[in-house]
């Protein structure tokens, strides 16, 4: 068995699979550590990075073994990622450390020491979490340091260019607000100075002025964003201590000054209102300013003066607005990992904008250290539910809301406790609104768990009985204890708030976030795209994915005639919708002969897929009805197919081992690939599905792709679609679940064969998706599908 | 070091009938480990104190006895095995759980030879270390 032989290719392919699986497990563990599931230290970070790097390199090495060193560029990509990771472990900031100006789009939490808290906060809250926060840019610690040296002109020019780019994104020049903050590894994000500018040049000068005034005063950074104006301005302290109140939030509100010179200056005329930290955030106490008669009040109508010429008893913000503000504050606090002080503006249209943030100034150690701290925590007997796994540590309280894939985002009250039967990726869009998340089925390695961690929403997955919680009742979720308590348990919330204040800013967590930025994101998703090459691999995940995709491609190119010593395929002798050749690559088939029956298939994943494929009830009868457009489109594709090599247009082929199957189906002009490992070890199991092509016009092919996407998401796949290309993946499945999913995929392949020509309208997508899901028992008949909404 | 005021029980009519909480001392020179473990055990109903400095932890165990000691193995100043030896010399019935990021078969053997109850490799799940403490409670009869 030499290099290039089919058996060598297959054996090497399995090594790539093993390396990728182990690397993805390591990455998932690092991700879960970020969510608080594991207790770790710096030694773990070093060993975890070392192992993921080793496996990534191994994957690249084996791919080059399969491809006769075609992808040596992958080694360069690997070395670039490894250098960045080693720099971060050594205390550096990675490749971005040399940048002097960064736009918000480039900023994640892990860059806090480089750009300061206010820029990182606004960037993440606005761009990643979808909260109302402005676009902007940051002058980094590096940029500010270089402004004091020989590079002054260059940095100022970069600031001006960055501002010009911001203006282009905003649709024109705007007045800007500039904030100088302490940064670096020891910088707490304290605001040192504020300035305003109305042009790129003025912004450059203001930044240079900051550098001059604070020269030698430690690491600083500057945040630049549009100066937002509105009816009111204010602050929100997300955790305000008052010995006579339960844990509260303090909102301070004042009318915005007309003068642009001091638009956020705190005037004497400011209301103070303490809100409950728990939904629906009732006001606990107010201290309202005595207002002159010309004050603008909610609704714009002055109230009748109750005493002299002043208004008493009327707040600038209504309790409803206060509740919205409180929820924004809690979302920011979750993301920040601890209490903070937010600045906000109430726009003329009634919407809030977050304009800045600082760490909370006061710590209240007595809250978590007090004599009754532990004694007041509820015991195990008081739990409504317990069990499952930590998807993201933390404590949250709120009213119970049942979620499913069809739940409209806007219908979920901010801060509620979402409960789902399955941790489906489709729930990702709802996560930022939640105070906590529970799922009966799902694990901490799932996509939804990653989303919960990104948003720092406390979450427990695999919690039996969660959907039996009464909708609307208040509950407290303590993910760390994997427990749900009735009502609002203030002692837990208080302790979590204090613990979070320390944990969120711990260097180990920031380093881990920074490391994951170079490990976890998958930038190369479309194998057909022009940039799907080694030079565009930016992360370990990119390299692993690239190696897997190319290795699958090399396997598919094996000549099914058997000339490359893989052996001749045996033809499936069942009543299949199409011909299928099966090659046994180790424990996949029993018996001998040119043909093989289903009973002789011993490959677990292939057998399950065939069981679905051979289902009579899902096969679509009769010839499809073709329109002229379909025929014309089909003719082009037919001529392309005729021009293709025999290998590319070859028969349907399955490679089968005991625990592995790779099935390539060319149904008509559709091209489907299923690649699956199913063993008794869930951490090794995965299912990969790819579909492209069709015989109908572009719209209909896209509709079919939409249908596939709908079904794949229902099956729990992390799926994406571009045009008529659909890619779906599931990992870390229990054996029974993996086999069940493969049966559905087989049925789906049979059901959607040539279906695209029947998809004349968007309504048909909904109809056929519902019909298929009903056939498979995945939704009750007549249940609404997303397309019905 | 994390502020460590020993928890005292709230006075009141029920204080005498309240079950004595199991006491735990946590020693790890990585602050992040103490910051995770101390509040976790407090929430689970334990009396917990945490130290980053072996010398301070040693001074504390010389003052009072703990039911359970959770200690890192490799620390600057005083080795975890040496600390565990001193604890065992003072209080033979205190059970010790060792946590380490450098788990080898040899260190595990050495730990068990010195009377360690359990050996947990970092990174570890909170539930794993809680299980260890609960087993100690059961074996020592600390829970009804």
What string of DSSP letters covers A478-526? ETTTTEEEES--HHHHHHHHHHHHHHTT-HHHHHHHHHHHTTS------
Average pLDDT over residues B84-104: 88
Distance from CA of B136 to the nearest CA of A (A): 18
Per-residue pLDDT at A629: 39
CA end-to-end distance (rounded Å), chain B: 34
Per-residue pLDDT at A171: 93
Task: Determine the residue of chain A that is closest to B127 in CA distance.
Answer: A481
Task: Determine the residue of chain B that is closest to A394 in CA distance.
Answer: B40
Phi, psi of A586 (to 5 degrees): 135, 90
B34 contacts chain A (CB < 8 A): no
Task: Determine the residue of chain A that is closest to B74 in CA distance.
Answer: A43
Task: Determine the residue of chain B that is closest to A478 in CA distance.
Answer: B43
CB contact under 8 A, B122 and A41: yes
C-alpha A6/C-alpha A4 separation (Å) is: 6
Contact assessment for residue A491 and residue B38, using Cβ atoms and an 8 Å cutoff? no
Distance from CA of A445 to the nearest CA of B (A): 14
B44 contacts chain A (CB < 8 A): yes
Give the tokens for residue A734: 């229990």
C-alpha A498/C-alpha A314 separation (Å) is: 33
B105 contacts chain A (CB < 8 A): no
| Chain A residues in contact with B39 (beta carbon < 8 A) | 368, 495, 499
Phi, psi of A670 (to 5 degrees): -85, 150
Give the tokens for residue A307: 């005493």
Half-sphere exposure of A305 (CA within 13 A, CB side): 10
Residue A411 CB-density burial (10 A; 0-12 exposed, 13-18 middle, 19+ buried): exposed
Per-residue pLDDT at A497: 65
Per-residue pLDDT at A303: 53
Other Cβ atoms closer than 10 A to B143: 10
E-strand ranges in A615-708 read 653-657, 660-665, 670-677, 686-693
Give mean pLDDT in consecutive 10-residue pieces for chain A, a chain of 789 residues.
67 84 81 81 92 97 94 95 91 83 88 88 82 93 89 93 95 94 78 92 94 85 93 87 77 73 61 84 82 61 51 73 87 72 89 87 46 60 88 87 88 88 84 89 78 84 93 91 88 68 66 85 75 90 88 68 60 82 87 90 94 79 41 34 35 83 68 83 81 57 76 82 74 85 87 64 75 74 39
* A:469-508 residues touching chain B, CB 8 A cutoff: 478, 480-482, 492, 495, 499, 502-503, 506, 508
Taking Cα atoms as reference points, which of A744, A507, A469, A464 lies closest to residue A609? A744
Per-residue pLDDT at A505: 59
What one-character DSSP code corresponds to residue A153? H
Which residue from B37, B47, B124 is facing A38, i.e. has the nearest CB?
B124
Select the residue from A374, A379, A443 to test the B interface by mutation, using most B Cβ atoms within 10 A: A374
B16 contacts chain A (CB < 8 A): no
> What Cα–Cα distance (Å) separates residue A782 from each residue in A53, A710, A767?
50, 17, 11
Task: Determine the residue of chain A that is closest to B46 in CA distance.
Answer: A374
Taking Cα atoms as reference points, which of A723, A732, A742 lies closest to residue A526? A723
β-strands B95-100, B68-72 pairing = parallel
Which residue from A41, A374, A492 is facing B45, i.e. has the nearest CB?
A374
Per-residue pLDDT at B95: 93
E-strand ranges in B1-144 read 23-27, 47-51, 68-72, 95-100, 118-121, 124-125
Distance from CA of B76 to the nearest CA of A (A): 14
Per-residue pLDDT at B35: 86
C-alpha B108/C-alpha B104 separation (Å) is: 6
Please report the ipTM that was assigned to this predicted complex: 0.82
A177 contacts chain B (CB < 8 A): no
CB contact under 8 A, B123 and A372: no
Give the length of chain B.
144
A29 contacts chain B (CB < 8 A): yes
Distance from CA of A403 to the nearest CA of B (A): 28
Taking one residue from A and the other from B, the number of pairs with CB-CB distance under 8 angstroms is 87
Number of H helices, E strands in chain B: 5, 6
Per-residue pLDDT at A81: 94
pLDDT in tens, A727-772: 788 877 888 889 999 998 888 887 876 565 566 666 777 778 888 8
HEC per residue, A277-321: CCCCCCEEEEECCCEECCCCCHHHCCCCCCECCEECCCCCCCHHH
For A470: left if phi > 0, alpha if psi spans -120 to 50, otherwise beta; the answer is beta
Select the residue from B9, B14, B41, B43 to test the A interface by mutation, using most A Cβ atoms within 10 A: B43
B134 contacts chain A (CB < 8 A): no
Per-residue pLDDT at A620: 58
CB contact under 8 A, B43 and A40: no
Sheet holding A483-486, edge to edge: A385-386, A483-486, A474-478, A395-403, A416-422, A434-441, A459-461, A389-392
Q: Strand, coil or helix: what is B17?
A: coil
Per-residue pLDDT at A73: 95
Per-residue pLDDT at A57: 97
Task: Determine the residue of chain A that is closest to B129 in CA distance.
Answer: A39
Distance from CA of A20 to the nearest CA of B (A): 21
Which residue from A33, A375, A377 is facing B123, i.e. has the nearest CB?
A33
Residue B76: partners with Cβ closer than 8 Å, 6 or more residues away = B29
B45 contacts chain A (CB < 8 A): yes
Give the tokens for residue A548: 């897997």
CB contact under 8 A, A499 and B47: no
Q: Is the pTM of this model over 0.90?
A: no
Per-residue pLDDT at A670: 56
Residue A577 CB-density burial (10 A; 0-12 exposed, 13-18 middle, 19+ buried): middle
Residue A743: partners with Cβ closer than 8 Å, 6 or more residues away = A608, A609, A611, A612
């Amino acid at each position: 068995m030499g290099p290039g032989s089919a058996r060598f290719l297959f054996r090497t392919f399995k090594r790539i699979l093993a390396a990728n699986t182990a690397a993805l497990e390591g990455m998932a563990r690092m991700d879960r550590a970020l969510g608080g599931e594991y207790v770790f230290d710096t030694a773990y970070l070093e060993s975890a990075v070392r192992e993921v790097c080793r496996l990534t390199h191994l994957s690249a090495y084996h791919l080059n073994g399969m491809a006769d060193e075609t992808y040596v560029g992958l080694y360069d990509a690997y070395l670039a990622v490894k250098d960045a990771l080693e720099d971060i472990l050594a205390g550096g900031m990675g490749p971005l450390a040399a940048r002097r100006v960064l736009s918000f789009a480039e900023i994640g939490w892990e860059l806090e020491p480089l750009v300061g808290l206010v820029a990182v906060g606004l960037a993440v809250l606005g761009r990643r979490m979808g909260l109302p926060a402005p676009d902007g840019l940051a002058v980094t610690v590096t940029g500010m340091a270089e402004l004091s040296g020989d590079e002054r002109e260059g940095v100022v020019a970069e600031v001006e260019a960055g501002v010009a780019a911001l203006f282009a994104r905003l649709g024109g020049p705007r007045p800007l607000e500039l904030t100088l903050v302490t940064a670096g590894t020891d910088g707490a994000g304290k605001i040192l100075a504020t300035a305003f500018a109305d042009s790129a040049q003025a912004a450059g000068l203001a930044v240079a002025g900051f550098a001059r005034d604070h020269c030698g005063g430690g690491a600083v950074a500057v945040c630049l964003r549009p100066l937002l104006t509105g009816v009111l301005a204010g602050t929100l302290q997300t955790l305000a201590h008052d010995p006579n109140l339960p844990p509260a939030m303090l909102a301070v509100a004042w009318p915005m000054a007309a003068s642009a010179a001091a638009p956020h200056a705190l005037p004497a005329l400011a209301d103070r209102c303490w809100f409950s930290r728990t939904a629906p955030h009732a006001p606990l106490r107010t201290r309202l300013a005595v207002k002159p008669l010309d004050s603008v009040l909610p609704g714009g109508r002055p109230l009748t003066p109750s005493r002299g010429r002043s208004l008493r008893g009327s707040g600038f913000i209504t309790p409803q607005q206060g509740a919205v503000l409180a929820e924004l504050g809690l979302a920011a606090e979750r993301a920040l990992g601890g209490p903070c002080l937010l600045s906000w503006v109430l726009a003329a249209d009634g919407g809030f904008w977050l304009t800045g943030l600082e760490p909370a100034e006061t710590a209240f150690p007595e809250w978590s250290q007090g004599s009754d701290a532990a004694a007041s925590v509820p015991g195990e007997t008081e739990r409504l539910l317990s069990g499952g796994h930590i998807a993201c540590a933390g404590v949250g309280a709120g009213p119970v809301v049942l979620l499913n894939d069809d739940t409209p985002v806007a219908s979920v009250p901010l801060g509620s406790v979402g409960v789902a039967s399955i941790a489906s990726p489709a729930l990702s869009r709802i996560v930022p609104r939640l105070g906590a998340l529970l799922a009966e089925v799902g694990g901490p390695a799932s996509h939804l768990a990653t989303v919960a961690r990104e948003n720092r929403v406390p979450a427990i997955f695999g919690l039996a009985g969660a959907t039996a919680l009464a909708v609307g009742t208040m509950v407290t979720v303590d993910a760390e204890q994997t427990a749900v308590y009735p009502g609002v348990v203030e002692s837990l919330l208080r302790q979590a708030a204090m613990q979070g204040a320390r944990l969120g800013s711990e260097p180990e967590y920031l380093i881990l976030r920074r490391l994951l930025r170079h490990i976890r994101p998958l930038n190369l998703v479309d194998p057909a795209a022009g940039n799907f090459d080694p030079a565009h691999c930016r992360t370990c995940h990119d390299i692993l994915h690239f190696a897997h995709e190319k290795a699958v491609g090399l396997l598919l190119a094996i000549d099914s005639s058997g000339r490359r010593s893989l052996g001749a395929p045996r033809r499936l002798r069942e009543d299949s919708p199409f011909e299928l050749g099966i090659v046994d690559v180790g424990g996949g088939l029993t018996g001998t002969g040119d043909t093989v029956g289903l009973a002789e298939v011993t490959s677990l994943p292939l057998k399950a897929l065939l069981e679905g494929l051979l289902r009579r009830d899902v096969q679509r009868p009769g010839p499809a009805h073709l329109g002229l457009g379909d025929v014309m489109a089909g003719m082009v594709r037919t001529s392309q197919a005729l021009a293709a090599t025999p290998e590319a247009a070859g028969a349907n082929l399955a490679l089968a081992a005991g625990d592995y199957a790779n099935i390539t189906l060319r149904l008509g002009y559709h091209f489907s690939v299923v690649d699956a490992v199913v063993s008794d070890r869930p951490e090794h199991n995965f299912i990969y599905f790819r579909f492209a092509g069709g015989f109908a016009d572009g719209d209909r092919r896209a509709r079919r792709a939409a249908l596939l996407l709908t079904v794949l998401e229902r099956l729990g796949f992390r799926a994406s679609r571009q045009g008529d290309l659909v890619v779906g993946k599931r990992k870390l499945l229990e054996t029974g679940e993996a086999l069940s999913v493969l049966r559905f995929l087989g049925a789906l392949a049979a059901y959607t064969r040539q279906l695209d020509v029947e998809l004349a309208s968007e309504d048909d997508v909904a109809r056929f998706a519902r019909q298929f899901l009903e056939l498979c028992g995945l939704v009750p008949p007549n249940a609404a599908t997303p397309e019905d909404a | 070091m994390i502020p460590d005021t020993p928890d005292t029980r709230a006075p009141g009519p029920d204080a005498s009938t309240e079950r004595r909480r199991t006491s735990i001392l946590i020693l790890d020179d990585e602050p992040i480990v103490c910051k995770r473990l101390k509040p976790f055990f407090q929430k689970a109903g334990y009396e917990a104190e945490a130290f980053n400095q072996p010398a301070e932890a040693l001074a504390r165990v010389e003052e009072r006895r703990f039911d359970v000691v959770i200690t890192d193995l490799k620390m600057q100043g005083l080795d975890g095995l040496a600390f565990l030896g001193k604890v065992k010399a003072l209080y033979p019935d205190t059970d010790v759980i060792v946590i380490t990021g450098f788990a080898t078969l040899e260190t595990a053997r050495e730990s068990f030879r010195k009377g360690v109850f359990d050996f947990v490799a970092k990174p570890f799940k909170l539930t794993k270390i809680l299980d260890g403490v609960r087993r100690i409670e059961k074996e020592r009869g600390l829970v009804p």
